[in-house]
Chain A
Amino acid sequence: MNAVLDVRGLGKTFGGFTALNGIALTVAPGERLGLVGPNGSGKSTFVNCIAGDFPDHAGVVLFRNRPLAGLKPHERARLGLSRTFQLPRPFRSLTVLENVTVPLRFSVPPLPVADARARARACLERVGLQDKAHSHPHSLTQVDLRKLELARALAPEPALLIADEVMAGLSHSEVDQILDLLFALNGDGTAVIMIEHVMRAITAFSQRLAVFVAGRKIVEGDPQTVLATPEVEAAYLGT
């Protein structure tokens, strides 16, 4: 099979607590997958397992047909697997522009400084941060920090971008702006997993939707159908 991401039997426990259990999920190249679920259902843990933060997880993760077991987070990033952090984690001592050059300076082979800066500037324009290029992260608003997080993740033109709640707290027009951006990125061939609580964005964006509840994937399929299933309604009403 030719999936960009192929996850089988993924499990993760913290002490005695099971955060993920038997997750199977595939993403086709260039696909747009939505991932939703109540707070604490394991969405971010799923991202962390795939990104290499928890090497002790159960199950198998294949990225472009390659098993990721044993690979460090930076090695996975360099293969074209990009993620954002739910709580933005900017490099505080670097300018906004320098933040975005980092994945470009550390790709294999690395881009020369001038090229990296030019491309980082283009990325900032895409997310609408070009005017803040020389600011430091501490002077940015929450919204701009999310945009920076996104710019840094998409700069290396990944094969898969996992966007973990990049729209939380954004206004209606800002959500539209990020949606346009993710659509454009997807148009360039990047597969996207969008983790969101903003339902409007999820339904507009996703070609396929998966729902996590308490560490399990309860349904997956066409977004309209999935959202109409009784289990999903119960899960959301129950929280």
Chain B
Amino acid sequence: MSRPLRLNVGLAAAGVALILILRLIDNDYAWYTGYVILQYVLLAVAWNILAGYSGYVNFGTAAFFAAGAYTTILLTKALNLDLLVCVLAAGLVSGALGLGMGWLTLRLRGVYFSIATLSLAVVLQTLVVNWPYAGGSSGAYTMRPQGYAVFGNYSEFLFVLMLVLALGGIAVAAGIERSRLGLGLATIRDDERAAAAAGVPTLRLKLIATAISGGMMGMAGAPLPYYASYLNPEAAFSLTHTINAMAMTLIGGTQGWVGPVIGATLLSTLQQGATVTISSAGNLLIVGGVLILFVMLAPKGILGLIRAWRGRGDTA
């Protein structure tokens, strides 16, 4: 079996195993928790496609995520479209948003790009707040069906949907790492000027990465209105999404898709636990605390720690 095929088969097997385990537990809370963890896996993997692979730090995660969620709200309200169609549409909308934002901002290098992306969320949120059809500042409700196709339980359906999206996102990220696009992004991250001198179409590759990354974030947000049954701009555009995706990736390690997956799984599990046992306000505190620890003690994340530890084992 080739490596990519092996990875995809492994991902599918892991997905089936997860579904079976949660079926055994069969409790709405378990499906919910799993959904949130997977949503952050997808967001972190998506964020890392731009930040980890090409070195461009995007502070607009919440904007892409919310654009996906509001795509669902609008398409459901206007055309009563199926959630699966909304997910695809959200991918396109947020992908296009990424392309547009990239077109405007990717000529800016380093920190200037990051500052520009931060303003995207502000602009979009202002737009939604002043748009009564989308629910305005008070938000919009979504009618949640009882079940969906073979799924008797809608929570299970949402979990499986997010699982498929997250695993798909991982497969895409892993594919990029092996591809010519991945090589080009790595040269941009290492030295953009040298990359251009070697014939790498830097702007085009950055635009492609922003579009893919943004599209994935939009898909992560698309089921949110159904998950929460109610969506308001504050929740959709919450800076929490931006900070979490970033912190989880940095804690896991930015070198490949494995880092964000580890970081998102660990941190969002911790957060879910804290929400129950302490308070929901403890979430960001945990992320902040863990992030500070990592920045000081292990700037290359968990993956970096593992590599350093293995390296020491080899030479000893």
Q: Are A103 and B190 closer than 8 Å at their CB atoms?
A: no
Residues from chain B with a CB closer than 8 A to the CB of A78 are 199
By a beta-carbon cutoff of 8 Å, the part of chain A in contact with chain B is 51-53, 72-74, 77-78, 82-83, 85, 89-94, 98, 101-103, 105-107, 110, 152, 156
Q: Are A74 and B201 closer than 8 Å at their CB atoms?
A: yes
What sequence of 0s and 1s flags, for each residue 164-201 of chain B, a beta carbon within 8 Å of any chain A beta carbon?
00000000000000001001101101110111111111
Q: Are B180 and A77 closer than 8 Å at their CB atoms?
A: no
Residue B202 CB within 8 A of the other chain: yes
**Range for the number of chain B residues in contact with chain A:** 10 to 19
Q: Are A106 and B189 closer than 8 Å at their CB atoms?
A: no
Q: Interface centre among B187, B189, B196, B197, by most A CB within 10 Å?
A: B197
Q: Are A77 and B183 closer than 8 Å at their CB atoms?
A: no
Residues from chain A with a CB closer than 8 A to the CB of B187 are 91, 94, 102
A108 closest partner in B (C-beta):
B199
Residues from chain A with a CB closer than 8 A to the CB of B201 are 72, 74, 106
Q: Are A102 and B189 closer than 8 Å at their CB atoms?
A: no
- Given known contacts A85-B194, A89-B193, is B186 in contact with A106 (CB within 8 Å)? no
By a beta-carbon cutoff of 8 Å, the part of chain B in contact with chain A is 180, 183-184, 186-187, 189-191, 193-203
Q: Are B198 and A77 closer than 8 Å at their CB atoms?
A: yes
Q: Are A106 and B198 closer than 8 Å at their CB atoms?
A: yes
- Given known contacts A91-B186, A98-B183, is B199 in contact with A103 (CB within 8 Å)? yes
User: In whole angstroms, what is the CA distance A83 to B196 when docked?
Assistant: 11
B180 closest partner in A (C-beta):
A105
Question: Looking at chain B's contact residues, is the secondary structure mostly helix, strand, loop, or mixed?
Answer: helix
User: In whole angstroms, what is the CA distance A178 to B195 when docked?
Assistant: 23
Q: Are B190 and A51 closer than 8 Å at their CB atoms?
A: no
Residues from chain A with a CB closer than 8 A to the CB of B193 are 53, 73, 85, 89
Tell me the smallest distance from the CB of B221 to a CB of chain A, in Å. 31
Q: Are A74 and B194 closer than 8 Å at their CB atoms?
A: no
Q: Are A83 and B197 closer than 8 Å at their CB atoms?
A: yes
A89 closest partner in B (C-beta):
B194
Residues from chain A with a CB closer than 8 A to the CB of B194 are 85, 89-91
Contact among B183, B189, B203 for A105, CB-based, below 8 A: B183
A102 closest partner in B (C-beta):
B198
User: In whole angstroms, what is the CA distance A105 to B191 when docked?
Assistant: 17
Q: Are B190 and A94 closer than 8 Å at their CB atoms?
A: yes
Contacts A74-B197, A107-B199, A110-B180 aside, 14 further interface pairs with beta carbons under 8 A come to A72-B201, A72-B203, A74-B199, A74-B200, A74-B201, A89-B193, A89-B194, A90-B190, A91-B186, A101-B183, A102-B184, A102-B200, A105-B183, A105-B184
Tell me the smallest distance from the CB of A154 to a CB of chain B, in Å. 12
Sample 15 A-B pairs with CB under 8 A, ordered by A number.
Answer: A73-B193, A73-B197, A74-B195, A74-B196, A74-B201, A82-B197, A90-B194, A91-B194, A93-B189, A94-B183, A94-B187, A103-B199, A105-B184, A106-B180, A106-B201
Q: Interface centre among A52, A90, A103, A106, by most B CB within 10 Å?
A: A106
Residues from chain A with a CB closer than 8 A to the CB of B191 are 89-92
User: In whole angstroms, what is the CA distance A94 to B190 when docked?
Assistant: 9
Residues from chain B with a CB closer than 8 A to the CB of A74 are 195-202
Q: Are B200 and A106 closer than 8 Å at their CB atoms?
A: yes
User: In whole angstroms, what is the CA distance A102 to B203 when docked?
Assistant: 16
Residues from chain A with a CB closer than 8 A to the CB of B199 are 74, 77-78, 102-103, 106-107, 156
Residues from chain B with a CB closer than 8 A to the CB of A53 are 193
Q: Are A102 and B183 closer than 8 Å at their CB atoms?
A: yes
Residues from chain B with a CB closer than 8 A to the CB of A73 are 193, 196-197
8 A-B pairs with the lowest CB-CB distances in the bound complex, closest first: A89-B194, A73-B196, A91-B190, A106-B199, A77-B199, A103-B198, A74-B196, A102-B198
Residues from chain A with a CB closer than 8 A to the CB of B186 are 91, 93-94
Residues from chain A with a CB closer than 8 A to the CB of B189 are 93
User: In whole angstroms, what is the CA distance A106 to B201 when docked?
Assistant: 8
Residues from chain B with a CB closer than 8 A to the CB of A93 are 186, 189-190
User: In whole angstroms, what is the CA distance A98 to B177 when docked?
Assistant: 14
Tell me the smallest distance from the CB of A185 to a CB of chain B, in Å. 17
B255 closest partner in A (C-beta):
A93
Residues from chain A with a CB closer than 8 A to the CB of B200 are 74, 102, 106
Tell me the smallest distance from the CB of B161 to a CB of chain A, in Å. 35
Residues from chain B with a CB closer than 8 A to the CB of A91 are 186-187, 190-191, 194-195
B194 closest partner in A (C-beta):
A89
